[in-house]
Amino acid sequence: MDLQQVRNDLKQRLPQERYEHVLRVTATAVELAKEVGVSVEKAEIAGLFHDYAKFMDKEELHDLLKQDQEYDLYSQYHAELWHAPVGALLAKERYVVEDEDVLQAIRFHTTGRAGMSPLEKVIYIADLIEPGRKFPGIEDLRKRINGQSLEDQMTECIQHTLKFLVHQYAVIFPYSFDCYNEHVRRRKEQ
């Protein structure tokens, strides 16, 4: 796969600010992958594609989402979540990304899920903590996860995300709860 071609495509598809976010997520994912022993190549591909469908027209996004096996579930939740499964679909269709781990990392970078692979965790974490993110509590989160195992980083990140969503009175996707519950159980068992 020609990753420069993917970058060029992204530059055309996304607003400049979002394109720069994608590049920062990719760089963060590559560094984290090196630290935790995950494939750097896979982290780079998944990082580049994680927001591939982010700024698609809502109608087109919805039409593509209908091809997804979990359309009925996703369609019940905010359209903000749709870009993840559609991004995985487009990576497969347009760029022949066939590695299921990469596709799952793209698909679940927003919600998380129980049973995430190390690559999925790397992309989820990188998307949340990339250096351009400026939201309340991000500096504290970055400090808390610094030097921790991938599992502990993921636990902190999913907890942070759920606290934010609850504070916003947002409807929460069930896979996010599953992810949180799995990590809390793991932590309690230690």
Mind listing the pLDDT tens digit for each residue in 150-164?
999 999 999 999 999
> Is residue 160 assigned to a domain?
no
> Is residue 171 assigned to a domain?
no
> Is residue 179 assigned to a domain?
no
Number of structural domains found in the chain: 1
What would the pLDDT profile of 83-107 be if each residue is shown by its tens digit?
999 999 999 999 999 999 999 999 9
The DSSP symbol for 50 reads: T
Q: Which domain holds residue 13?
A: 3-135
> Is residue 153 assigned to a domain?
no
CATH number at residue 56: 1.10.3210.10
CA 46 – CA 107 distance, rounded (Å): 9
> Is residue 149 assigned to a domain?
no
* pLDDT cut 90: percent of the chain above it: 95
> Is residue 175 assigned to a domain?
no
What was the pLDDT predicted at 1? 80
> Is residue 36 assigned to a domain?
yes
CA 46 – CA 75 distance, rounded (Å): 23
Does this model's pTM top 0.85? My answer is yes
Segment 38-46 mean pLDDT: 98
Please report the beta strands in the chain, taking only residues with DSSP state E, as ranges in sequence order: none
What would the pLDDT profile of 104-123 be if each residue is shown by its tens digit?
999 999 999 999 999 999 99
What was the pLDDT predicted at 25? 98
190 or 150, which is more confident?
150
Contact criterion met (CB below 8 Å) for 24 and 46: no
> Is residue 32 assigned to a domain?
yes
Dihedral over Cα of 132, 140, 118, 170: its sign: negative
